[in-house]
Amino acid sequence: MTKLEVKNLTHAFVQNNTQLQVLDKLNFSVDTGQFVVLLGPSGCGKSTLFNIISGLLRPQAGEIYLNGKYIQSSPGAFGYMQQKDLLLQWRTVLKNVMIGPEIQKESLDKTRKEALKLLAQLGLQGFANSYPMQLSGGMRQRVALVRTLLFRKEILLLDEPFGALDAMTRTVMQSILLDIWDKGGQTVLLITHDIEEALLLADKIYVLTARPGSIKAEVKVSLSRPRSITDRDLINLKSELFDMLQVEMQQVFNIN
């Protein structure tokens, strides 16, 4: 069953009295329970796309359907983790991740136990009473991920969730996210420009063109999990995706 469908999404920003086209008739779909990755060069409109899907920005044209129903603007329908962690500096780590349950008036005693468990799972045990300014950038990103998960939305929009992490921590976090997704049954749409990350995580990859962003290719990843970057089939897919992205990067830098 299709969970999310984007049709002919088009958007532009006005800069110096001229229109900067960011998205151009972008179409794709995500089925219930799928892990889908959007892969594309920097500046191709990926974050703008998430802002539109989440309801933070209204598109100039196009439609979005959630569970088969047209949605105009539904900020509360998605768990959205943006590139910036957006943690509240005056709240502790625990109180930051509990914002969703507070807003939704859940039992905070029960949620607190779950929050502490998730923090420990993501390597943040002992930091529940710390403040954001006391954490590294990578730790703050992990706090933001826990906060997103505790909103308990059926669809997660994750914009470069591991961008601030070192290589080893990133690998561990990818594995943890897959485990959480597998057990929780959510539908995940994740942005990255890292080809290996896309291949390690995704059921399906949408490759975006250079700005204005549109879908260049849909690549299904049928490899069993857990996956290894040394697997021959994965290496072949990596080469295929690299060639696609190289063409788009040449467009970004006007290389003939």
**Tens digit of pLDDT at every position of the chain (256 positions):** 779 999 999 999 987 888 889 999 999 999 999 999 999 988 889 999 999 999 999 999 999 999 999 987 676 789 999 988 999 999 999 999 999 999 988 888 889 999 999 999 999 999 999 999 999 999 999 999 999 999 999 999 999 998 878 888 899 999 999 999 999 999 999 999 899 999 999 999 999 999 999 999 999 999 999 999 999 999 999 999 999 999 888 877 766 6
**DSSP-assigned letter for residue 132:** G
3-class DSSP assignment, residue 102: helix
pLDDT score for 256: 60
**Whose CA is closest to 2, among 25, 34, 24, 26?**
34
pLDDT score for 252: 74
pLDDT score for 17: 81
Terminal-to-terminal C-alpha distance of the chain? 42
pLDDT score for 164: 78
pLDDT score for 229: 92
For residue 68 the two structure tokens come to 């088969």
Measure the CA dihedral 232/234/236/240, to 10°: -170
